[in-house]
Structures are given as structure tokens and as C-alpha cells.
Structure 1
Amino acid sequence: MTALSVSTSSAASLRADALVIGVAKGPKGLLLAPGSEAVAEAFEGKLAEVLATLGATGAEGEAVKVPAAPGLKAALVLAVGLGEAPEAGYADETLRRAAGVAARTLSGTKKAALALPAESAEQAEAVALGGLLGSYGYTAYKGESGKAPVGELVLLTDRKGSKDAKAATERATAIGEEINRARDLVNAAPNDLNPKSFAAIAVAAGKEHGLKVEVLDEKALAKGGFGGILGVGNGSDNPPRLVKVAYTHPKAKQTIALVGKGITYDSGGISLKPAGHNETMKCDMAGAAAVFASVVAAKRLGLAVNVTGWLALAENMPSGTATRPGDVLKMYGGKTVEVLNTDAEGRLVLADAIVRAGEENPDVIIDVATLTGAMVLALGNRIFGVMSNNDELRTRLHTTAEATGEPAWPMPLPADLIKGMTDSTIADIANMGDRMGGGLVAGLFLKEFVSEGTDWAHLDIAGPAFHEGAPFGYTPKGGTGTAIRTLVRFAEETAAGK
């Protein structure tokens, strides 16, 4: 695990294996970003020229190494591109990505100093968080072949801003470590992570951080009438679980309920997925991982708001006991669902958990799920969709997500699309409706299980939850931990009365 620290030492005097600076595209060529002054002085004013000779342009994502000049205590200078130079201040997301590029480039290094622009607490936090996220690597199964992350990242700041920078790195550490916890869960092999083992991890975290954790096993689920979760998990030898992870604060005035889809492996069930669509289906529990990590982060940050996470955990497998297309499930709360496609299983486990969450009368319910391929078709691989029964809540979540650097887009819930599901001749509703607008149809299905008068939002993170391409910025290949920053910021805003 990469350590984060703050130093008021000069970039020239700090002993480190590498020193990171920022460079940008200016109107007349390469520009050195704030924070690089001492380094430039050591190069006698020729640093930009040297870097340009080595091919540096300042483009975002670029990383160019140069041996350190005499007078620097570091052995290496790494220049990372920040893109076009802004008229006033670098954006937080630009700095997060640059720090992530630096951390990835310097993997295996023991100590690296970050002399990137950090002139405000927000910028300092962005640099620290980007570095911590960029240093992530999943090596659980690689043994000695896995490359170690940077051992320590040192954020350089002046004495005037050191107090704010220290607080910023502490917050970044709490959030970054929880995002990386979620990434670990998403990346874990499905033969290791199943509903029971996921629940055990939640119980252990609850003991570590002082959270109240309750686990309903298959017997308790049957006794309670959780037909959706049980129906999805019936085909697996690994029985389902519903896990409640609760953080309460004595001064809290509001309660947020977070509901996460936790399909630890999704074969599609009897409606089996075609070849080529199964290999990454261990990631279908990314919503539950995000919810779990967000609750722990809220506790670590001491936010004055109650946050309860509901992890709806099941493994969707085909077998002689699996739910069949045509079966009718009696959901928690009594509503009946005709199952037309067993690969539309996430909405079934979420529906049970949403009803259960609503019984505790939270001020808002937010569910998070890798729910539909239709949302990926609509928004691509890097943007998640936001739906809600409250336009103001939808707008707030969209704004919050964008502010944290998590691309999102508000989506509608057209009333006419519900008819395709409520036309079931044998049940209250079917789990499938119109094929066109499938992501919206899934949202409408979930809305049917939200208690009257409760504000609710649905985040469909199917696109950005699992990255299959080459790493970029602070985003690794595999699990990304998407939506956690949005949920934590939302909880912070709620605690502040916004």
C-alpha cells in the first residue's frame, strides 16, 4: 500500500528516487507548471528546452523522464503533461490524472516527491488522491511477478499551506484506500469472492471501523420473504446474502440509504450469456463494492450523517434449481414478478433490498449497479447514468459526480415505457419490457419498489465500473471503484445541510 505524506522541504533539497513536475502546452511551446521553480533553477533555466528535446509536448497523459541536474537530491525528474495551460489555475481532475500517470510510471520506486501545482487545499487533495489511485495494482494472484507500487508519495507544499495540505492528504488517503478496497473486490476471482465471503469481508470491516453489520443468510432470506434475492441465487451452490452495513453519527440529522447490486458472478442463469460475454462477469458486484466502500469512507471521515449500505449479494448460475424464464417470484414486500429473462437479475436483487431499505424511512435511497448493457450503448464506457423520481436529486447527483471527476449524465424515466412490464398477464410486473431504452426500463422497474414519498436515485455504472483497455490517468485496467467519490461527496454535502 502506497503511503502519503506532506513535506515543506524544497523540491531541490528533498531526498527521493524521483521528483515529479508538471508541464503544459503554451502558446509558444512547452510551459513549466507551478511547483517546478526549484527544479528549473537547478537546470539553470534550460529545463523546458531539455524536456522538449526529449519529446515532451505537455499533452495530457504524457510522461517524460530526465536525469536530475546537479543540486537536486532526487536521482530522476519526471515531467507529466497537464494539457493546455489554463488562464487561471489547473482543474482538480487534470491534477488527479497527472498524479496518477506519475504514480503508474514510477511503479517499483521507493519514494517519489510530487511537485505538481498544489496551491489550494482542493488541488493538494486532487494530487494526493490521483497519486494514490494511480499507484494501485492488483497482484493477489501474481506472486513475485507483480510489480510493486510506489512505496511513498510525498506532496510538496510551502509552510503556509502545510496544515491544509496535511488535512487534504488525510482525506485523500481515506477515500483513496476505500476506492482501492472496492477495486480489490471487483478484481477478485469469482471462485474466491462469493456472497458468503463478501459478507465475511463486510463483517471484518465492521469490527475494524466500528460499523454495525447484519447478515441475512439463505434461511433468514427465506423466512423474510426475499423472493428476488433467493430467486437469483437459487441456481448456485453459493447461497445468497443480504448485508446491512450501518454508520451512525450522534449529530446526524439525515439518513442516506445506499443499495448495491452484488452479483458476484453473472452467467446469465438459464438465459445464458453468449460466448465472449462471461469473462468479466465477476465485476457484476461493483455496485455493492462501491456502496460498501462508501459507508466505510463516511465512517473514516466522521461525517455528520447516517449512512446505511445494503449489499444484495447473489451468484447467478444455471442449474436444475435455477429460476426459469416464466417463473413468478414473490418479492420482499409482496409484489410479484414474472421472470422473462434470468439475465435481468440485478433488478431483482435490488428490488428486494430497496423495499427493505425503505422500511427504515431514510431521507434518500440511492442504488448503484452495473445494471444494463443498454446504458453502455447509450453513454459509452466512461460515463454512468443517473435516474431519479426527483428531478432536483437527479441534478444534484449529476453535478456532484462531475465535480468529483466522475463523468455522469442525467437520464429520464419515461412513463410510457412501464407498460411493457406491467402488461404481464400473470404477475404484478415482469422483469423485462421494451427492448429499446433498456436502461430506462430497468430504472422504471426499480422505481416500482420505492416506498411512497421517498426520494430515490439510480446510478447505472455498467460502463465505467470495469475498464478493459489500457490504463489512463489514475484509472487502472480492471475494477475502477467508480461512483464512490460521488457517494462520499453527496454524503459530505448532506452532512453540511446542502
Structure 2
Amino acid sequence: MTVPKLALTENTEAAVGKTRADVVVIGIVQGADGPVLAAGAEVADAAFDGTLADVLGTLGATGKAEQVVKLPTLGKLPAGVLLAVGLGKQQDGTVTAEQVRRAAGAAARALAGTDRAFVTLSVLDLHAAVEGTALGAYAFTEYRSEKGDSPLARADFANPAEGTAREHKATLKAATTIAESVIIARDLINTPPNDLFPASFADRAKKLAEANGLDFEVLDEKVLKRKGFGGILGVGGGSTRPPRLLRVSWKPAKAGKKVALVGKGITFDSGGISLKPSAGMDDMTSDMSGAAAVLASVVLAAKLKYPLEVTAHIPLAENLPSGSAYRPGDVLTMYGGKTVEVLNTDAEGRLVLADAIVRAAEEDPDYLIETSTLTGAQVVSLGNRTAGVMGTDEFRDRVAGIMQATGEGGWAMPLPEELRADLDSRLADLANVTSHRWGGMLVAGIFLGEFVPEDLTWVHIDVAGPSYHKNAPYGYTAKGGTGVPVRSIAAVLADIATHG
């Protein structure tokens, strides 16, 4: 885990005057006639006799989102370098939290190798600046013989003008803990499948549970068979590395609501006998992103001591073709007794999730939140940065709204009743896919809904695109695992703790 040391300093004027940092960071807004200094830059501007915006404009700064411009201070400030990072255009006269988060991330990436940087973006939104800095500084270098530039080592944030020192410290702690939890998920996702498989994932989860006072239980293949977890066993049957089902739980002394988390943990997905094309198959190391997210989220709940009982149910399997692999045409008896005809072994995530959902529902939670890299149809429908959110209408809309507020981007999608008939099977209670490709994301949600009790408030978050970023880094998003939707789950848990 690579998290820079993050700390609060005094107010902006005192902190800039006394700083021993290498760099002072300010935000600039994209104005009609050039860059406009954002709040927090006043002291730096005074050191340049009120000409800082003009100087930055001369150097090509526009304030465009995530644009970074460095300027030597020539002794005008204690730090040797001033870094101006673009926040983009104001929206209705304000800068949003997501603009601050992305700008802070861009600044952190630009400061790789810097021992210490003083950041003034915090006066706009301390929580967003801390998250953006910590996540923007992330680098996964575990498997590189040459590590390259070290990540940003430290960032100090000026205390905002509003609020008390105690409130600011609480904000710093919460934002840092959330960022650390996102990084737990990113590290898991980025670990290659030869090192991360069901048993080794379980070992890592156990260590995290023990370190954070969580209850931990693992069911191996023998117990799964004895208890009838046909979905998990079917999917994992083709691998020499057998499946697991984890239960990781945070139970405070005074818990309010009970929340179940379920995350898909396919540690590698070849498609099984319905083999995927070779191009892009290496991305399927990320098919356990949902499992990583819910594990990180229950750890977060413990660290921030949410007054909720939060339990993560994590089905883990490796989907490979072999003589023992499940086949198209097989009928699986799922945990709880429902039967499923397998028409495509590459629609495996819904099978392991169905088992885990039934088990989670046995504990009578008030809410069930499931997330998974479930369908390529999600990417076709909503692209790589917007998750599809389905489930109980009111809760679905609540979660989608929270995802948009966190910057992770969720969009409410329907579960049309007429599509259920397309999952009818000639042999079993239902089939795992339809005979057509229409509405694939929605059909997968409908399939999962068949295993959710009617009276249980639930949501399914399809993060097939948002969980893994294949291109160059941007904002606070690194190449590889993103950790989506950990921040959103954290916000949903906090909302449930507050409003029920």
C-alpha cells in the first residue's frame, strides 16, 4: 500500500510563510480571459505582488481541468517551486468536490519523487483534496525490478477557514481512511492471478480481518459441497485451485441497521469452455474487483467505526476450461435449492453471486449491496466510467445519486419484467443467459433478483467498465484497478448510519 503521509497545518498564510516544503500547490480556475486564482492562492499571489495569474498565463496556464504548470518561486516563497493545477470551469459559480479531487490527484501524480508538498486546495474542499492526493499518488510497483520515481511522500493541507480544528482532523481521518481502503482494493485487483487465487485471496482477507478486529470465516470446497453451493462449485470446478466463500463481518457493540455486502470474486476468468477471445483476456485478472471492493469496504467500516453491522460475503473461484470444468447444458443446483441451466460458462459471475446472495439473505439484513464486473453489456450501455445500478427502486435511486455525488458515477437502470421470460429454461428453474444479446446488463440484474427475497431492499452495481482503467492515468485514477465503488459504498454506509 502506497499512501503518502497526510497532515494538517495552520491557516494558509501562516503555513505558506513557515513551510519547509519543496512545493507549494495552488488551484486555478479556467476563466474567460485566462487563469483565475482559486481560494487558497492569495498568499502566494501576494508574494508575486499580485501578478501570479498573469505570470501563469504567460507560461501557458489556462486553468483547464488537470493542467499542471510549475513555476520557480525565485525566493519569493520559502518553497522553491509553485505548482498550479487546473480545476476547470466553475459550475454555477462554484468548484465541485470532484473538480478538487481530480486536480489534487493530478498534482500528486506530477509530484512523484517529491519529499513533501504543501497543498492549499484544501480550503475549497478538504475531504476531496485529501482523497484526490492520496489516490493520485498511488503506484503499484510490486512486480517491477526498477521501481522508478517514488510516489509523493508527504502532503500538508492548510486548515480551511470554516470549521473547528477538531472537525478538520475528523475530516482528514475519514478521507485518509477511505483512500486507504480504495488502495486495498486497487492492490488486490492489480495482483496477477498466479499470485491471487481463491485460497491466497482468503489468506489476505484473513490478515486484514485480524488486523481490524473483524469476524472471519472461510468455507473451502469440501464445506461448499456439503452445504450445496452448486454455483460456486460449478464455476470453480475447472481449476486445480478450488473455490472459497468468505464471510467477513464488522459488529460494533451498538449497531443500528444490518447491511450485507456481496462482491464477485472470479480471480481469473477465461470464460471456461465458452472460451473468451485471447485479445484482452489478460484484463480478466480484474474480474474479482467486486470482491476486492466489498472486502475493503468492511475494513473501512471497522476503521471508521460505523454504527452498523456490516458483513461481506465473498465468493471466490477461478473459471478455467478442463476435463472437470462445468459445461454448457449442465444444470446446477444452487445454494437454497433453485436450479439453473448453464447455456454459457462465461456467464459465471451471476452463478457464484447467486449462492452468496442467498447465504447473505439468511442473516436477515436490512440492506443488501452487491457489486460485480458482471457484463460487457454495461460497458456497451454506459461506457467505462459509469456503473449501472439496479435493484429496489428507491434504494437504487439513492445509491445512484450517492455514486454521482462521490464522483464514481452510477446510473439507475430498470429491471423490466418482460425480460424475465427470456431466462426461462427447458430443464431448470431458469437459465443463466438468454438466447439473444439485448438488454444483457438488465437481464443479469434480473437473474440476481431471482435469488433476493421479495422483502429485502437491495441493489446491484455493475462496474465492469469503471473498476479497471486500461489507459493513461487521469485525475486521481491510476492505470489498472480503480477501487470503484469503494468510495460510494462508504458514502452509502454513512448515509444509512445517519438516515436509516
Compute the TM-score of the two structures, normalised by the length of structure 1.
0.97
Tell me the SS of whatever aligns to 1:31. Answer: strand
Tell me the SS of whatever aligns to 1:457. Answer: strand
Tell me the SS of whatever aligns to 1:308. Answer: strand
1:439-486 Cα distance to aligned partner (Å, 9 max, x none) = 111000000011231111100000100000111110010000001111
Q: CA deviation at 1:146?
A: 3.5
Q: Distance in 1 between matches of 2:148 and 2:232?
A: 37
Contact 2:375/2:462 (<8 A) preserved: yes
Tell me the SS of whatever aligns to 2:458. Answer: strand
What residue number does 1:263 align with? 266
Tell me the SS of whatever aligns to 1:401. Answer: helix
Residue 207 (structure 2) pairs with residue 179 (structure 1):
no
Residue 416 (structure 2) pairs with residue 414 (structure 1):
yes
The verdict on how the C-alpha distance between 1:86 and 1:417 changes in structure 2, with shifts beyond 3 A counting, is closer
Following TM superposition, the consecutive aligned residue runs of length 4 or more in structure 1 with deviations greater than 6 angstroms are none
Q: Distance in 2 between matches of 1:87 and 1:18?
A: 31
Q: Distance in 2 between matches of 1:166 and 1:456?
A: 34
1:282-336 Cα distance to aligned partner (Å, 9 max, x none) = 0000000000001100111111111100111000000000001111111000111
1:14-67 Cα distance to aligned partner (Å, 9 max, x none) = 111111100112233211111011111111212111111111000001000011
Residue 79 (structure 2) pairs with residue 74 (structure 1):
yes
What residue number does 1:27 align with? 32
Q: Distance in 2 between matches of 1:286 and 1:475?
A: 15
Residue 57 (structure 2) pairs with residue 55 (structure 1):
no
Q: Distance in 1 between matches of 2:159 and 2:235?
A: 52
1:402-435 Cα distance to aligned partner (Å, 9 max, x none) = 111111100000111111112x111111101142
Q: Distance in 2 between matches of 1:451 and 1:213?
A: 25
What residue number does 2:250 align with? 247
Compute the TM-score of the two structures, normalised by the length of structure 2.
0.97
Alignment of 1:27-176 (within 5 A): 27-86=32-91, 88-119=93-124, 123-157=125-159, 161=163, 162-176=165-179
Contact 2:126/2:160 (<8 A) preserved: no
Q: CA deviation at 1:87?
A: 5.0
Q: Distance in 1 between matches of 2:232 and 2:9?
A: 50
Q: Distance in 2 between matches of 1:84 and 1:449?
A: 46
Tell me the SS of whatever aligns to 1:427. Answer: coil
Q: CA deviation at 1:391?
A: 1.0
Q: Distance in 1 between matches of 2:75 and 2:92?
A: 33
Unpaired runs of 5+ residues, structure 2, are none
Q: Distance in 2 between matches of 1:222 and 1:415?
A: 33
What residue number does 2:488 align with? 486
Contact 1:467/1:476 (<8 A) preserved: yes
Unpaired runs of 5+ residues, structure 1, are none
The verdict on how the C-alpha distance between 1:112 and 1:279 changes in structure 2, with shifts beyond 3 A counting, is same
Q: Distance in 2 between matches of 1:348 and 1:374?
A: 17
Q: CA deviation at 1:70?
A: 1.8
What residue number does 2:362 align with? 359
What residue number does 1:431 align with? 432
Contact 2:22/2:81 (<8 A) preserved: yes
Quick one: which of 304, 310, 328 aligns to 2:307? 304
Q: Distance in 2 between matches of 1:176 and 1:84?
A: 26
Alignment of 1:369-388 (within 5 A): 369-388=372-391
Q: CA deviation at 1:71?
A: 3.5
What residue number does 1:282 align with? 285
Q: CA deviation at 1:159?
A: 7.3
Tell me the SS of whatever aligns to 1:113. Answer: strand
Q: CA deviation at 1:145?
A: 3.0
Residue 32 (structure 2) pairs with residue 7 (structure 1):
no
Seq. identity, %? 51
> Alignment length, in residue pairs?
493
Q: Distance in 1 between matches of 2:442 and 2:206?
A: 34
Q: Decide which moves more: 83-92 or 47-56.
A: 83-92
Q: Distance in 2 between matches of 1:112 and 1:309?
A: 37
What residue number does 1:452 align with? 454
Q: Distance in 2 between matches of 1:160 and 1:268?
A: 53
Q: Distance in 2 between matches of 1:448 and 1:159?
A: 51
Q: CA deviation at 1:127?
A: 0.4
Tell me the SS of whatever aligns to 1:246. Answer: strand
Residue 231 (structure 2) pairs with residue 228 (structure 1):
yes
Tell me the SS of whatever aligns to 1:139. Answer: coil
Q: Distance in 1 between matches of 2:160 and 2:409?
A: 32
Amino acid at match of 2:453: S
Q: CA deviation at 1:10?
A: 2.5
Tell me the SS of whatever aligns to 1:279. Answer: helix
Q: Distance in 1 between matches of 2:378 and 2:274?
A: 20
Q: CA deviation at 1:69?
A: 3.6
The verdict on how the C-alpha distance between 1:352 and 1:116 changes in structure 2, with shifts beyond 3 A counting, is same
Q: Distance in 2 between matches of 1:483 and 1:160?
A: 30
What residue number does 1:403 align with? 405
What residue number does 1:393 align with? 395
Contact 1:90/1:117 (<8 A) preserved: no
Q: CA deviation at 1:363?
A: 0.5
Q: CA deviation at 1:86?
A: 4.6
Q: Distance in 1 between matches of 2:213 and 2:244?
A: 21
Contact 1:6/1:156 (<8 A) preserved: yes
Q: CA deviation at 1:85?
A: 3.4
RMSD: 1.2
Q: Distance in 2 between matches of 1:473 and 1:143?
A: 26
Amino acid at match of 1:356: R
Contact 1:21/1:116 (<8 A) preserved: yes
What residue number does 1:189 align with? 192
The verdict on how the C-alpha distance between 1:249 and 1:283 changes in structure 2, with shifts beyond 3 A counting, is same
Amino acid at match of 1:59: K
What residue number does 2:329 align with? 326
Q: CA deviation at 1:165?
A: 2.2
Q: CA deviation at 1:275?
A: 1.9
Alignment of 1:461-476 (within 5 A): 461-476=463-478
